[in-house]
Amino acid sequence: MPNAATDLFHQALDLLLAKDMAGFVALFTDDGVMEFPFAPPWQPDRVTGRAALHDYLIGYPEMLDIREIAEVTVHETADPAVIVTEFTASGVVVATGKPYRMRYIAVLTVRDGHLAHYRDYWNPQAAQELLGEGLVRS
């Protein structure tokens, strides 16, 4: 049986690979939230609302050129609106040309066919080494 949350997650990955951040943001509810529990102190740990998400994410491809998303695993939960995902994003840090590879775990909650909450777990120490302080974003 298809799971809407899983389908939406795969659509989000496709949009990230296409560098279509406006399309990615459009997947969220108007009051959608991205949460970053491991964010370093100089970065927000929560971004709320589609407009704020747009402002936060629109320049992402200018920082990271994500070229592959691999090792994708989706864990369905007892609540069909919630999934736990694992994946690895690989590409290039635009400013330096250095290779980028980061493992992520994300918990997604879907409401009315849109992402309502995206909790993004990643290694801020590794990100800082790759991107430098002030440029770290998930």
- Give the tens place of pLDDT for each residue, 83-110: 999 999 999 999 889 899 999 999 999 9
Q: What pLDDT was estimated at residue 131?
A: 62
Burial of residue 73 (number of CB atoms within 10 Å: 0-12, 13-18, 19+)? exposed
Q: Which two tokens stand for residue 135?
A: 């440029």
pLDDT tens-digit series, residues 120-135: 998 877 766 766 644 4
What domains can be seen in the chain, in order of their start residue?
4-131 (3.10.450.50)
Contact of 13 with 34, CB cutoff 8 Å:
no
Q: What pLDDT was estimated at residue 72?
A: 97
Euclidean distance between CA atoms 102 and 52, whole angstroms: 24
Q: What is the DSSP letter of 56?
A: H
Bridge-based pairing of strands 46-48 and 28-35 is antiparallel
Bridge-based pairing of strands 114-121 and 28-35 is parallel
Q: Which two tokens stand for residue 134?
A: 């002030």
Q: What pLDDT was estimated at residue 43?
A: 83
Contact of 35 with 49, CB cutoff 8 Å:
no
Angle 128-102-47 from CA coordinates, rounded to 5°: 70
pLDDT tens-digit series, residues 24-62: 999 999 999 999 999 888 889 999 999 999 999 999 999
Q: What pLDDT was estimated at residue 55?
A: 96
